[in-house]
Structure 1
Amino acid sequence: MSNGNEANAAENSSPMTLEESLDECMEALDLFLNNHFSESLDKLRPRVNESMYHALIYATVLEMQAMMTFQPEDISNAGNTMKSAQEVCQRFRRKSAVLSNKSVGESLTEVQLHAEACYAECQLQRAALTFLQDENMVSFIKGGLKVRNSYLIYKELHTFTKSHSCNKGPSHVHLEGGISFGIGAFNLTLSLFPPRILKVLEFAGFSGDKEYGLSLLHNGATGMNLRSMLCALLVLCYYTFLTVILGTGEGDVTEAEKLLKPFRLRYPRGAIFLFFAGRTEEIKGTLMRSDDRRLQLHAEACYAECQLQRAALTFLQDENMVSFIKGGLKVRNSYLIYKELHTFTKSHSCNKGPSHVHLEGGISFGIGAFNLTLSLFPPRILKVLEFAGFSGDKEYGLSLLHNGATGMNLRSMLCALLVLCYYTFLTVILGTGEGDVTEAEKLLKPFRLRYPRGAIFLFFAGRTEEIKGNIDEAIALFEDGCKAQQAWKQFHHMCYWELMWCYSYKRDWKMAYFYADLLSKESRWSKAMYVYMKAAYLSMLPMDESRPFGDNEVDLFRQVPTLKQKIAGKSPPTEKFAIRKARRYKARCIIRLPVPVLEMMYMWNGFSMISKRPELTDGMMQTLVEAERCLLESPEKEYLVDDRCVIYLLKGLCLKNQGLLQAAEECFNKVFTSEKKIKFDHYLVPNSLVELSLLYIAQGRRDEAIKLLHKAKYV
């Protein structure tokens, strides 16, 4: 992670307080947003092994890079760094790796004893990385062996401490508590597995005796040892969460309160025990009580964010069902932590310290991100998720993210990016194509003032101008974004994609081709899409016009199916569409696509971009009229009806932009009435009905629009 000099410098420096750590992280974040990416990482790197915030922000930056490069080595590096971030939160574990080498009567330090319980989790983390990096059965078995190794070490410790040769020194109670935690945790956890799976695990050497596990954990929790808190924590989780969620919802409040009592007396302001005291009151139906133990609360927020980002990497890197389930469990665990933190910080007894704004920003990001993201799911899936305890309230999510973005905190950038993505991409691509430019510009303004050459904010400023139809202004901003920094080429790729579409709207096919060509050579996100667009732009040029770089559209179209890839286990819908459209170029007798660029532009809601600029719409209409003329002059072929309907649909959109609503309606109806004649492009009929319904809504014909939408759903 760092060179020797940096590591020594970090080790020789005094530990940072939470406030000092946050101040330095904010300085590093300023460097990052001013395009000094390397300096930002250099500032964070020396303390990633001692400060959870340095580790978290460092891992977040690397993960952002991994998400954009989509390089396996970057994803692997991000996974390793995120694992290290979790390890920092849990501090140092016992150094000795082999129990047989331990001296008789050797005592363990407080830090080591606290870290001992982390050993099993360290093994599990390595197992998880094995599953992430490779999906084959051999790797799955290797991961399982790491888990078993963790259990065997606990078991060996247990046997060792019960032997006559074990010299029970003054620190033995702490060692005994650690062993009780390990053996008890395995037994209690495995007892929750289905009987058939448990039998297989017992055959492999594990034990899943619930009562024995609970008794060990109770012994560990009630003894005065350094592991009593962890033992109590696990038992309290079982009594106040697992028995509630997996059982009848009652929990075992009496046992939980008995266990909590001595800890509450000894640690009256201990955040963990105040939390579980609040949880027991919640189960009993009373309000949660809590005080402020700031360091623990920040650790919870960091841990939840680590879990969430590791889950994202899991979905990206591995497509099998086991990894999907594991990623889902990480997501749910993260959400529950955020939910409890949110409730806690809103209580009257929460003391807001000097770093509270950062904690509040982290919680706003977590809860807001969950609500906004889940609100985009189909209603049926959302109902299932809400039944499982999640929330998908879009307005609530946006309000929390707005609060997080407008505050001066460590998560304000992440909150702002998520909201900007929603306003300028999701609402455009998944909605009617309008976006919410006003809100995006309000949110961007303070960031543009603070980071005038920040590539991220230049990019989003360009995107807002593009949505408004100011294509030339958008091009200038995207080009500025490319010039602003050279360290991360992935920012350039984002700008290239938008520049490609901006030149498409202007019908500058050669410039659009230039950016598609750059993307096909430099970006890994969707090579099939980039090559398809290259071929599409060439096909828009006159037959007698020379092609750039000697490329041939037919050869390029034929390459498209060979470049298919999967993201999170699925091929992107636009990539599937491009592959289907390119298939007709495989035939010996090629039938050319009439307007492939305009058709793909429709898939990305591009016609809404040009609706504010009449001259751009007029240009597109000219292209469509010329394509229609060519079709009328061509002989009857199997794709003829499909191609005519494509042109009718796109002409209808242009006519709608021009305010010629009756003519637009006629075009959409022509597609619908051709339903039985369409052989290949069956998407045209439901899409034409949707466009017609939107036209009716604009005219105030709501009832007719609803009928059409119902019809589109079942076509």
Structure 2
Amino acid sequence: MSNGKDPNAAENSSEMTLKASLDECMEALDLFLNNHFNESLERLRPRVQESMYHALIYATVLEMQAMMTFQHDDITNAGDTMKSAQEVCQRFRRKSQGLANKSVGESLSEGKRCRNSQLSHVTEEESESSEMNDINTSILNLFQSPSLFFRQVPTLKQKIAGKSPPTEKFAIRKARRYKSPNPVRLPVPVLEMMYMWNGFSMISKRPELTEGMMQTLVEAERTLLESPEHEYLVDDRCLIHMLKGLCFKNQGILQAAEECFNKVCSSEKKIKFDHYLVPNALVELSLLYIDQGRRDAAIKILHKVKHNYKDYSMESRTLFRIHAALAKLKANPEEEDSQM
């Protein structure tokens, strides 16, 4: 006697659940790719312990954040989350031996497909880690002959998955000034690249290195003061102000650091080329405020940068840093509209 139930109902329900799960993951990826990091993570977080798809993509997003911020807490959190995702996969395998191998294989394959789909859009973030050795070599070359090196930069560019990594785009932009018959040298190319790789934070506990950087910046600043007027002058001065601010911060001279960051911001309308300087100076100012316990002021600045500045060099790196800072402050995303 029939019990009135469709024998395929359980299977159909399982398939619908799988489809719903994948749809939700793809929605989260779309949010992530449109720089809505908090919303993306919030969409994934409730199911990271019950869905392999959610767990793997959630861990991947955090890995991306760690690669862009280079902050110890972010790196540790990403590693722990990826381990947790692996445990979720293992738990599903143990649950049903007959189905597990196929399910785990499909989930890992799908996770890889989703991750590759994500990476095809944000290759610039992940590819940076693989460029470290090349960049270190390039930095050494800068000491030898910066003019020659930067003239060669446009010919050295490469594309990964059809896109140029942001570090290459950044280097090409910086190299443009060397195309002129009378090129204007970059004031502190090594320190500028170090900033892009979070070098100033990494040496914050090494006062002798900070002192050496400050001496280099002071000398570069003196050279600019003695040089004739040129179209890059304001940009170069602002770069030095921002980097000096980071050195002052490392030395604990916080008032001087704040003044340096504010000098960059006050010159916003005069900057012609390096438009990344103002949003990054604002981010550095907000991080300084966080260290001083000025939470509300920091949050206000971070939201300002997130919403008001677009299409500048290494923008994705800056947005990841903003996301990491807001997450650390446990700032409510709903505060954004009220503060803008």
Output one character per residue of 1:262-307: Cα deviation in whole Å (capped at 9) or x when no partner.
xxxxxxxxxxx4xx53435998xxxx9xxxxxxxxxxxxxxxxxxx
Letter in 1 for 2:273: F
1:609 equivalent in structure 2: 202
Letter in 2 for 1:706: I
Tell me the SS of whatever aligns to 1:430. Answer: helix
Counterparts in 2 of 1:496 and 1:705: CA distance versus 1, 3 Å: closer
CA distance in 2 between counterparts of 1:654 and 1:399 reads: 46
CA contact (8 A) 2:286 2:298 kept: yes
CA contact (8 A) 2:67 2:75 kept: no
Letter in 1 for 2:163: K
1:667 shift after superposition: 0.4
Counterparts in 2 of 1:668 and 1:279: CA distance versus 1, 3 Å: same
CA distance in 2 between counterparts of 1:375 and 1:597 reads: 35
Match of 1:537 among 136, 140, 152: 140
2:279 equivalent in structure 1: 686
Counterparts in 2 of 1:577 and 1:441: CA distance versus 1, 3 Å: closer
1:433 aligns with 2:36: no
CA contact (8 A) 1:371 1:394 kept: no
1:227 equivalent in structure 2: none
CA contact (8 A) 1:558 1:586 kept: yes
2:225 equivalent in structure 1: 632
Output one character per residue of 1:614-665: Cα deviation in whole Å (capped at 9) or x when no partner.
3332222222222222212222211111101011111111211222111110
Tell me the SS of whatever aligns to 2:230. Answer: coil
Counterparts in 2 of 1:623 and 1:395: CA distance versus 1, 3 Å: farther
2:12 equivalent in structure 1: 279
TM normalised by structure 1 equals 0.31
1:582 equivalent in structure 2: 175
Output one character per residue of 1:475-513: Cα deviation in whole Å (capped at 9) or x when no partner.
xxxxxxxxxxxxxxxxxx999855677xxxxxxxxxx4x
CA contact (8 A) 1:671 1:685 kept: yes
Letter in 2 for 1:633: E
Counterparts in 2 of 1:427 and 1:659: CA distance versus 1, 3 Å: farther
CA distance in 2 between counterparts of 1:629 and 1:442 reads: 47
CA distance in 1 between counterparts of 2:65 and 2:191 reads: 20
Output one character per residue of 1:314-361: Cα deviation in whole Å (capped at 9) or x when no partner.
xxxxxxxxxxxxxxxxxxxxx739769xxxxxxxxxxxxxxxxxxxxx
Match of 1:336 among 19, 41, 61: 19
Match of 1:676 among 233, 257, 269: 269
Letter in 2 for 1:661: L
Match of 2:234 among 641, 644, 657: 641
CA distance in 2 between counterparts of 1:399 and 1:282 reads: 16
CA contact (8 A) 1:429 1:605 kept: no
CA contact (8 A) 2:151 2:179 kept: yes
CA contact (8 A) 2:66 2:75 kept: no
1:393 aligns with 2:76: no
CA contact (8 A) 1:375 1:393 kept: no
1:557 shift after superposition: 1.3
CA distance in 2 between counterparts of 1:391 and 1:702 reads: 22
The sequence identity of aligned pairs, in percent, is 55
Counterparts in 2 of 1:689 and 1:605: CA distance versus 1, 3 Å: same
Counterparts in 2 of 1:338 and 1:602: CA distance versus 1, 3 Å: same
CA contact (8 A) 1:371 1:396 kept: no
Instruction: List 4+ stretches of structure 1 deviating above 6 A.
Output: 369-375, 398-401, 440-445, 493-496
Counterparts in 2 of 1:438 and 1:714: CA distance versus 1, 3 Å: closer
2:185 equivalent in structure 1: 592
CA distance in 2 between counterparts of 1:436 and 1:398 reads: 20
Q: How does 1:449-460 map to 2 (within 5 A)?
A: none
Q: How does 1:315-330 map to 2 (within 5 A)?
A: none
Counterparts in 2 of 1:612 and 1:371: CA distance versus 1, 3 Å: farther
Counterparts in 2 of 1:372 and 1:607: CA distance versus 1, 3 Å: farther
Output one character per residue of 1:212-259: Cα deviation in whole Å (capped at 9) or x when no partner.
xxxxxxxxxxxxxxxxxxxxxxxxxxxxxxxxxxxxxxxxxx9x94xx
| Equivalent pairs, count | 259
CA contact (8 A) 1:617 1:658 kept: yes
CA contact (8 A) 2:224 2:237 kept: yes
Q: How does 1:350-389 map to 2 (within 5 A)?
A: 376-378=32-34
Mark the structure with the bigger radius of gyration. Answer: 1
Gaps of 5+ in 1: 1-253, 262-272, 289-334, 341-366, 405-414, 446-492, 502-511, 517-533, 542-546
1:714 equivalent in structure 2: 308
Counterparts in 2 of 1:640 and 1:282: CA distance versus 1, 3 Å: closer
Counterparts in 2 of 1:382 and 1:698: CA distance versus 1, 3 Å: closer
Letter in 2 for 1:433: Q
1:570 aligns with 2:208: no
Tell me the SS of whatever aligns to 2:187. Answer: coil
CA distance in 1 between counterparts of 2:49 and 2:160 reads: 27
Match of 2:246 among 653, 663, 666: 653
1:433 shift after superposition: 3.2
Tell me the SS of whatever aligns to 2:159. Answer: coil
Counterparts in 2 of 1:392 and 1:578: CA distance versus 1, 3 Å: farther
CA distance in 2 between counterparts of 1:281 and 1:559 reads: 57
1:434 shift after superposition: 3.8
RMSD: 4.3
CA distance in 2 between counterparts of 1:650 and 1:399 reads: 46
Counterparts in 2 of 1:639 and 1:280: CA distance versus 1, 3 Å: closer
CA distance in 2 between counterparts of 1:499 and 1:566 reads: 17
1:662 aligns with 2:255: yes
1:672 shift after superposition: 0.6
CA distance in 2 between counterparts of 1:337 and 1:395 reads: 14
Counterparts in 2 of 1:394 and 1:584: CA distance versus 1, 3 Å: farther
CA distance in 2 between counterparts of 1:655 and 1:399 reads: 47
CA distance in 2 between counterparts of 1:282 and 1:444 reads: 26
Counterparts in 2 of 1:659 and 1:500: CA distance versus 1, 3 Å: farther
Q: How does 1:41-120 map to 2 (within 5 A)?
A: none
